[in-house]
């Protein structure tokens, strides 16, 4: 009975985003892995999104024109919808994370500036009377 409600095990290829690359065959999504910065990653994913959109549009044309088996065409359009949604979510989340990282860095910098301003200025030399 417990096995009926258990979630299926994820294959190891789904780790580290491999699933989306396996499903999409989009070159820019594979290239996004080697991005040199957050901005580069976002840019490559946006190009991958354009590739997904182009493929999805072509699959919809095939479905409407009844090119090939209807069930297969419908499944491909559905796969395109899912890939489109996944890549869009990747881009949205990465942009959100980058914005949060920048806001955190700005807040830390402001705290450092306020700490510097709160300290009394240093004196080069201060005369002290020795204990007698």
pLDDT tens-digit series, residues 4-44:
566 555 555 556 667 777 887 787 788 888 899 999 999 99
pLDDT band at 113 (very low <50, low <70, confident <90, very high): confident
User: What pLDDT digit, counting tens, does each position of 49-88 carry?
Assistant: 998 899 899 989 989 998 889 999 999 999 999 998 999 9
pLDDT above 90 coverage of the chain, percent:
43
pLDDT at residue number 37:
95
Q: How far apart are CA 44 and CA 16, in angstroms?
A: 17
25: left (phi over 0), alpha (psi -120 to 50) or beta: left
Calculate helix-pair angle for 38-64, 70-118, nearest 10 degrees: 160
Contact 42, 97 (CB under 8 A): no
What's the pLDDT score for residue 18? Answer: 72
CATH T-level topology, domain 15-118: de novo design (two linked rop proteins) (1.20.1440)
Entry pTM: 0.70
């Amino acid at each position: 009975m417990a096995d009926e409600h258990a979630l299926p095990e994820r294959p190891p290829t789904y780790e580290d985003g491999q699933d989306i690359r396996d499903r999409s065959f989009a070159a820019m999504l594979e290239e996004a892995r080697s991005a040199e910065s957050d901005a580069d990653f976002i840019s490559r994913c946006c190009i991958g999104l354009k590739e997904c959109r182009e493929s999805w549009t072509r699959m919809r044309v095939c479905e409407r024109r009844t090119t090939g088996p209807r069930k297969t065409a419908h499944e491909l359009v559905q796969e395109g919808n899912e890939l489109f949604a996944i890549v869009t979510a990747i881009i949205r989340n990465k942009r959100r994370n980058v914005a949060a990282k920048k806001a955190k860095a700005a807040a830390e910098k402001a705290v450092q500036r306020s700490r510097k301003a709160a300290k009394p200025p240093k004196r080069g030399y201060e005369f002290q009377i020795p204990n007698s």
